Amino acid sequence: MGEESKLISNAFQTFLKEAPGHAQAWGAMVRSLGAASALDKKTSALAYLAVLSALNMESGIPFHVRTLRDCGASRDEVISAVLIGLPAAGHRVTQVLPAALSAYDSQ
């Protein structure tokens, strides 16, 4: 997993290692929801980043921003996805902006 493991929070890595059955069930559910979505991969990933930002789930930001970059999202699209929840969630969304930009800008 190498480089990718640096993007995954310690908590999620522990979940994968210590509860493999639950992790497998979780992964199957995530794949099923993705398959059921009418959104394309990039739009779905932008929406997911917006949700993570609104919930202030900074630990998930690097992995999902890298996914977005791999889908062709621009830096400005990442910024917009993080900040789109500003009216509803308030200033808390700005708390994840540094992590999002760091992940986008890193090689």
In this prediction, residue 9 carries a pLDDT of: 87
| 82 and 66 in a common domain | yes
**How do residues 12-29 score in pLDDT, each as one tens digit?**
999 999 999 999 999 999
Residue 37: partners with Cβ closer than 8 Å, 6 or more residues away: 44
Mean pLDDT for the chain overall: 93
pTM recorded for the entire structure: 0.86
Per-residue confidence band for 107, with pLDDT thresholds at 50, 70 and 90 = low
Whether residues 30 and 43 fall in one domain:
no
Residues 18 and 49 in one domain: no
Whether 18 and 47 map to the same domain: the answer is no
The count of structural domains within the chain is 2
Tokens of 106: 């890193």
Cβ count near 34 (within 10 Å)? 13
What DSSP state is assigned to residue 39? Answer: S
Query: pLDDT tier at 1 (50, 70, 90 boundaries)?
Result: very low
Query: Can you give the residue range of the structural domain that contains 106?
Result: 39-107
Written as six digits, the tokens of 61 are 């930001």
